[in-house]
Amino acid sequence: MSEEHDYEYEYNDQGEIVYYAVRPNKTQIKKDMAALFALSEEISELSAAQLKYLELPENIHKALIEVSGMPHKGARKRLLKFIAGQLHKIDVEPVLEKLARMKNKSAHAVREHHIVERWRDKLIAGGNDALTELLDEQPHVDRQQLRQLVRNAQKEAEAVKPPKSSRLLYRYLKDLFKVESEAESEEDAELEDVDELEDE
């Protein structure tokens, strides 16, 4: 099997260009292929919607859909090697950027979920003190609605009933923190625009 070479050139004594092959760095090629194989494995775990978002060439996209349903055996490894080889032929930077964006979004969603869960449990257990603390933090909240949701969830917990009111409270808090998070994102974007204008 013939190796692919990069070519460099120099001028000889007559001023003619002389090309010569540069031997490929085999260690670097192995590292690159190992990284692409790891990338293939990572993106093979994504959902169909996430795969679509990556906008990969059709042959890679089809192979990834096929490999996602395969058991962890030799045939799967061979197909992942094929995918890695195909990724080697394209510019993977845009793929890596989109993957990083998706990971950040997922990490943010997990953080948001924990914040909302903590507040819900705190409000149900802590009564008026916790409620006052949240209202100080979120002055624009609908106080009457929040008080009613907390009261219902507390009664439900005391009566050991299914957590219907608790879920409603969670949903209300989730929407509340989502609005706040979106407002912060808009503020950050505006600040970035200002910074760019100042740099010009």
Retrieve residue 90's tokens: 């394209």
pLDDT at residue 58 in the model: 92
CA dihedral 136, 141, 147, 152 (to 10 degrees): -130
> For the chain, which domains are there?
6-90 (no CATH), 105-199 (1.10.60.30)
For the entire predicted model, the pTM comes to: 0.49
CA distance 21 to 34: 25
Q: Is the pLDDT of residue 44 over 60?
A: yes
pLDDT at residue 138 in the model: 81
Beta-carbon contacts of 62 under 8 Å, excluding residues fewer than 6 positions away, are: none
Phi then psi for residue 180, to 5 deg, are: -65, -45
Q: Is the pLDDT of residue 84 over 80?
A: yes
Percent of the chain with pLDDT over 70: 76
pLDDT tier, 194 (very low <50, low <70, confident <90, very high otherwise): very low
Q: Is the pLDDT of residue 37 over 70?
A: yes
Q: Is the pLDDT of residue 4 over 50?
A: no
Q: Is the pLDDT of residue 43 over 80?
A: yes
pLDDT tier, 187 (very low <50, low <70, confident <90, very high otherwise): very low
Q: How many CB atoms lie within 10 A of CB 168?
A: 15
**Using one digit for the tens of pLDDT, what is the confidence trace for 118-169?**
989 988 887 778 888 888 888 788 888 888 888 898 888 888 888 888 899 8
Percent of the chain with pLDDT over 90: 8
CA distance 161 to 189: 44
